[in-house]
Amino acid sequence: MDEFHYRGGVLHCEDVPLHEIARGAGTPAYVYSYAALERAYREVEEAFSGLDHLVCFAVKANGNLAVLRALASLGAGADIVSGGELYRAMRAGFDPKKVVFAGVGKTEQELKAGLGERILMFNVESAGELEHLERLAHLHGKRARVALRINPGVDPGTHEHISTGNVESKFGIPADEALSLAERAKGFRCVDLIGVHQHIGSQIVKVAPYVESVERSAALVDELRSRGFDIRYLNIGGGLGIRYRDEETPSPAELVEAIRPTLAASGAKILCEMGRYIAGPAGALLTGVLYRKRSGERSFIVADAGMNDLIRPSLYGAYHEVLPLDEGADQTRADLVGPVCESGDFLARDRDLPDAREGDVLAVMNAGAYGFSMASNYNSRPRPAEVLVREDRWAVVREREHYPDLIRGELVPAFL
């Protein structure tokens, strides 16, 4: 069952009417379903059944501590891309031996933090990073377990801003340079090369790019082993798409079955880094309608959530379904816009939307991934509350920011 559904004509998250959350927590507010998180995680887990594997949740998709704690308790690992995400993962209770650290620009402080937590491995993206790890591990008496993140040169067929497997991308090591970098690593005393990693993009809706890129990565595993490297892990990345509108998206089972022969033949433990697939459908953004207005022939629904709360429509031209909290509302052609002082501030543009009036609340769906995690204080707007629902219970899991939060840490020097 869809965890966001109408019951008695009222939109619910699990067993909680969203009207209740809007009244109690206010708007804007992100609402997450525990059941949806669990269902999606278990679906990914089951897809890899029969293979030695670890599902790592991509923390960048949704870093709320309650969401992370829920997934850690289910057995998930964590895919992180910053020291801050490492801090969150540790606070949420993830096993450090289930944490992989990616990212093209890890600082010395972040590398030291990962070494200190004894994480499973670093996904190394450049020769310079490998050299820094060797130096820091030697200095602090540690061993750095690493995978080489290769750029397989595969077009994932997604938005250019979230494509990471193209040859022009800043991410990863070109496949034809990986072997020479691995040979350099042989001379390092404190670095253990144990894996190969790839991640070709996000919101991927076709299996073919995965098949091509995984075959290239698996071939590198074989070549490295032939040269004496103990390669134990093959990380296929994440990026499996979800249905925002009318996309035909493969299921985790369909994806894994397409690459299962290659994965099984690799003899490696398989890692994957799903974020959007697990968290995206598990969240909705509640926004209150402030005004209705017209400008020429165009109609606007002005809401209290804007691009600072959910930037995906402005940044990617992304589509999110918009639902009324009360079923059966009339439709109107309009733009759903926010209060931010930018012409690009919209959540939906020139669409058939619920004919909402001042004081109504709308739900922007499939907003559990890259929603709050990309939110900002632009226009000095406090970030929204976050709420987690489990069955008939709900709780605020991040308090709404207030004006004093906006200037916390700011100082006015004595010479002013």
pLDDT digits (tens, 9 = 90+) for 156-165: 554 444 444 3
List, as one string, the DSSP characters of 364-399: E-S-SSSSGGG---GGG-PPPEEEEEETTEEEEEEP
**Residue 93 assigned to a binding site:** no
Annotated catalytic residue within 13, 56, 272, 341? 341
**pLDDT at residue 135, as a whole number:** 96
* pLDDT at residue 165, as a whole number: 39
Does 131 carry a binding-site annotation?
no
7 is in an annotated binding site: no
228 carries a ligand binding annotation: no
- Are 374 and 308 in contact by the 8 Å Cβ rule? The answer is no
The residue that leads in pLDDT, 411 or 200, is 411
Class of domain 34-278: alpha beta
Q: Check whether 192 has a pLDDT greater than 70.
A: yes
pLDDT band for 391, please (50, 70, 90 cuts).
Answer: very high
pLDDT value of position 166: 46
Q: Is 370 annotated as a binding residue?
A: yes
**101-131 per-residue burial string, b: 16 or more CB within 10 A, e: under 16:** bbbeebeeebbbbbbebebbbbbbbbeebbe
Residue 276 marked as a ligand binder: yes
The reply to whether 13 belongs to the active site is no
Task: Name the pLDDT band for 381 (thresholds 50, 70, 90).
Answer: very high
Per-residue model confidence (pLDDT) at position 35: 98
Q: What is the pLDDT of residue 334?
A: 97
338 and 303 Cβ atoms separated by less than 8 Å:
yes
Q: Say whether 245 counts as a known binding-site residue.
A: no
Closest alpha carbon to 324 in 291, 292, 365, 293: 365
> In this predicted structure, what is the pLDDT of residue 81?
96
So what's the pLDDT on residue 286? 98
pLDDT in tens, 229-276: 999 999 999 989 999 998 889 999 999 999 999 999 999 999 999 999
| 313-323 residue pLDDT tens | 999 899 999 99
Mean local confidence (pLDDT), 197-211: 87
> What's the pLDDT score for residue 177?
86
CATH no. for 4-32+280-406: 2.40.37.10
Mean pLDDT of 343-349: 96
Domain segments of the chain: what residues?
4-32+280-406, 34-278
Which pLDDT belongs to residue 201?
82
34-278 matches 4-32+280-406 in CATH topology: no
pLDDT tens sequence across 145-188: 999 999 887 765 544 444 443 455 566 788 778 888 999 888 89
- Residue 157 per-residue DSSP state: S
- Please state, for a pLDDT cut of 70, what percent of the chain lies above it: 95
Question: What pLDDT sits at residue 200?
Answer: 85
Q: For residue range 51-103, what is the model confidence (pLDDT) as tens digits?
A: 999 999 999 999 999 999 999 999 999 999 999 999 999 999 999 999 999 99
Q: Is 239 annotated as a binding residue?
A: yes
Per-residue pLDDT at 156: 59
pTM of the entire structure? Answer: 0.94
